A and B are shown apart, each in its own frame.
Chain A
Amino acid sequence: MKKIPLTELCRVIRSKNAGPFELTLDLIFKDQKTYEQVKKMKAIEASLIARLYHVPEEEVLSLVYFDPALAVKATIKRPAGAGSLGETDVYGAQQHAPLLGVQIEMPPDFDRTGDLV
């Protein structure tokens, strides 16, 4: 296995409010092959999101693989409602950074070059 950073596998990594009380995280992969491989290995799971954001796993409200967009989406409870006292990010748009440091164990023969769909 070789470790490849999510930043090399994805073309979009972002966070945003899904309403004022939930924070949603999107990973959109660069191509079909990468997405299928990550999905097959279940490399992105609720436990990973829970660990990255150190929240209990039950606060990861959903984790969905969405084939048409080559995307994985996870939604967590916001620590505080958007714009409430002491809250830090009204739009929730800068909460994605922990995902940028994630490395995924890909099979040794995985090669992203020349794998266009």
Chain B
Amino acid sequence: MDKELKILAPTAILGYGFPEASWEQGLAAEPDLIAVDAGSVDPGPFYLGAGKSFTDRSGVKRDLRYLLQAAVEKKIPLMIGSAGGAGGSSHLKWCQEIVAEITREEGLQFDLALIEAEINRKQVLNWYHQGKFLSNDDLPLNEEEINKASSIVAQMGSEPFIEALEKGAGVILAGRAYDPSVFAAYPLWKGYDPALALHLGKILECAAIASEPGSGRDAMLGFLGPDYFQVEPLSPRRRCTPASVAAHTLYEKKDPLHLPGPGGELDLEKTTFMAVNERRVEVRGTRFKPTPHYYLKLEGAKKAGYRTISVAGIRDPIMIREMENIIREVREEVHDNFRGTIDPADFHILFRLYGQDGVMGDLESVPFQGHELGLIIEAVAPSQAWADTLCSFARSTMLHFGYEGRISTAGNLAFPYSPSDFSGGAVYEFNIHHLVAVDNPREYFPVEIIRGFKGGAL
């Protein structure tokens, strides 16, 4: 703990890349740890629900090759959290296969830890029946919703990573994790201050985003001492300033002074940000306040149906004036046409009007003015076939709809594409986003160690 720890954060999300020069610069600094956050909930519910990665396989493999080679050859611990983006079992497996491929291709060998973050439904139902969940007004939780979720993960804290370090892992690949955990676990294991380790992790998980000019595709180096930490970007064209580092704490958070996470919250009320030099910033004074219970955040997504969309433009001013009525009547005709064959409660027809309120929906306050509209007709239904049918019917009905005052009688929609309709596949929605109180933060994240891993069958 006397020594200053150096932590290398190569990229904001595994697969987003980094310049080779920054990477070399980072390695030259002889880091004690290389860590990367591989996920986010931001791309939406589809990826968790469908078990797919939002990052591209080739991009992830490109980044991982640098990370694994350096970690093994230079014996630097490597931590990867929220593998595969959403961090469920299938995401972890996806990332694990990429790790195995590189390991074989490069002839590497190391002790690998795999940490699962998918929580089985029985466990979630137990917590629910034991009243362990905090309620969320936006999202009522009940047995039915838990049963509908196709995948449920929990954000692990630093504890499962520490367990893997205790067991001697050199490379740790974990499912869904609280973003700073991958950076904080190693310093915590070494006895460093948790508040500073976590706050440093908060900044490093976005790599060079906290520098100026910010970038998610560039590396940052963190320095952790007993009562301070420092950050410096590895590309000479970027710099950290007290303002850029402080401002980063605002990013994607509700309250910059109080940042809740597993086991407690970071309190920044007394935090100071000072320039060490032109490019490096020192942070002191952050505190960690444990919560009375240890809370894990659970995330779950359920299938909401299948989607088909049709894209068109509208240029006729009379049609534009009548749009509200047209949409209402087309919607009625869809319902009328399929009465008795599909329950109206089972499908959704949506009309998005770009140029009017397509971006802000109900939050839009500017009255419409313009000479053309972009239209997306969207059908979501219990099967792809039904979504195709409903979208197609709404599209053809609107194309030839005889609205009030119509002068142009040949067709109402300008389609940029043939075919005009696109089948979008399964649609998911978040249906679990809740905190659950647990006694042991390690218990739900089993750590599997594979000694002398050479990329063989997993």
Contact = CB atoms under 8 A, between A and B. Distances in A.
Nearest to A89: B359
Contacts of B45: 20, 81-84
Nearest to A21: B138
Interface string B356-369: 00111111010000
A49 B246 CA distance: 23
Interface in B302-322: 304
Nearest to A24: B254
Interface string B50-79: 000000000000000000000000000000
A24 B254 CA distance: 6
A16 B252 contact: yes
A90 B255 contact: no
B350 interface: yes
B138 A97 contact: no
Q: Which range contains the number of A residues in contact with the other chain?
A: 35 or more
Interface string A50-77: 0011110000011010101111010101
Contacts of B247: 12, 26, 28, 69, 71
B430 A82 contact: yes
A19 B257 contact: no
B429 interface: yes
B433 A17 contact: no
Contact of B243 (A19, A70, A91): A70
A73 B362 CA distance: 21
A91 B42 contact: yes
A73 B361 contact: no
A94 B357 CA distance: 12
A82 B433 CA distance: 12
Contacts, number: 129
Contact of A88 (B42, B43, B358): B358
A116 interface: no
Given A17-B42, A90-B43, A66 B430 contact: no
Interface in A79-105: 79-91, 94-95, 97-98
Contacts of A87: 361
A81 B49 CA distance: 15
A69 B273 CA distance: 9
Nearest to A97: B360
Given A68-B242, A73-B255, A85 B433 contact: no
A89 B243 CA distance: 28
Contact of B257 (A64, A75, A77): A64
B254 A18 contact: yes
Contact of B255 (A16, A54, A75, A86): A75
Contact of B256 (A19, A69, A77, A81): A69
Contacts of B427: 85
A81 B255 CA distance: 19
A7 to B, nearest CB: 16
A87 to B, nearest CB: 8
A97 B352 CA distance: 19
A106 B271 CA distance: 30
Q: Which one of A28, A68, A69 has the highest number of Cβ atoms from chain B below 10 Å of its Cβ? A: A68
Given A20-B41, A79-B361, A68 B254 contact: no
B429 A66 contact: no
Nearest to A25: B250
B378 to A, nearest CB: 8
B46 interface: yes
Nearest to A61: B254
A85 B268 CA distance: 37
Contact of A68 (B246, B253, B430): B246
B342 interface: no
Interface of A: 12, 16-22, 24, 26, 28, 52-55, 61-62, 64, 66, 68-71, 73, 75, 77, 79-91, 94-95, 97-98
Shortest 6 CB-CB contacts between residues of A and residues of B: A83-B44, A68-B246, A69-B246, A69-B247, A75-B254, A21-B138
Given A17-B252, A84-B429, 17 more contacts: A16-B251, A20-B45, A24-B254, A28-B250, A53-B365, A62-B254, A66-B250, A70-B243, A77-B138, A81-B139, A83-B44, A83-B45, A84-B430, A85-B429, A86-B348, A88-B360, A90-B44
5 contacts: A69-B250, A69-B256, A81-B430, A82-B44, A84-B45
